[in-house]
C-alpha cells in the first residue's frame, strides 16, 4: 500500500499556528476515522498526539488539534513553541491491506 502524502517540511515562528496535511484515498483516510498523528524528536520513539481524527490522549497539549475533510486529514499546532520542532507522521487504517499505513512524515522547523 502507498504511504499517505504529507508535505516534506513546514515552518513557522514561535506563537504562530501551522497545519500539516495528510492526503490519502477512499481506501484509507476517506473511509475511516482511524487517523492518528505522531510526533517524533530525533533519536526518540514516536509520541501519540491525536487519535480517531481529532481526539487527544490524556496529557497532550490542547495546542494540538486534528480534523478531516474527505480524504485529507490535518494536524494543526497553535502557539508554536521551540520544542514543537520535530517530525510529524499521520497514520490511517487502510482496507487495501487490512492494515495501517503511515504518511511520509513532515519536518517542522520553528524559526
51 binds another protein (CB under 8 A): yes
Q: Where are the beta strands (DSSP E) in 1-111?
A: 9-12, 18-23, 35-40, 47-50, 64-69, 72-77, 86-94, 99-102, 106-110
Which residues inside 68-107 make contact with another protein, applying CB under 8 A?
A: 87, 89, 91-93, 96-105
10 binds another protein (CB under 8 A): no
Query: Footprint of another protein on this chain (CB under 8 A)?
Result: 1, 3, 34, 36, 38, 40, 45-48, 51-52, 57, 87, 89, 91-93, 96-105
Amino acid at each position: 500500500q502507498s504511504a499517505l502524502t504529507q508535505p516534506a517540511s513546514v515552518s513557522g515562528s514561535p506563537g504562530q499556528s501551522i497545519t500539516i496535511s495528510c492526503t490519502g484515498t477512499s481506501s484509507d483516510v476517506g473511509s475511516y476515522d482511524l487517523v492518528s498523528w505522531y510526533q517524533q524528536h530525533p533519536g526518540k520513539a514516536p509520541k501519540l498526539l491525536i487519535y480517531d481524527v481529532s481526539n487527544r490522549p490524556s496529557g497532550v497539549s490542547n495546542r494540538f488539534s486534528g480534523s478531516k475533510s474527505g480524504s485529507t486529514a490535518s494536524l494543526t499546532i497553535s502557539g508554536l513553541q521551540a520544542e514543537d520542532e520535530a517530525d510529524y507522521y499521520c497514520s490511517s487504517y487502510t482496507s487495501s491491506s487490512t492494515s495501517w499505513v503511515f504518511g511520509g512524515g513532515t519536518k517542522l522547523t520553528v524559526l
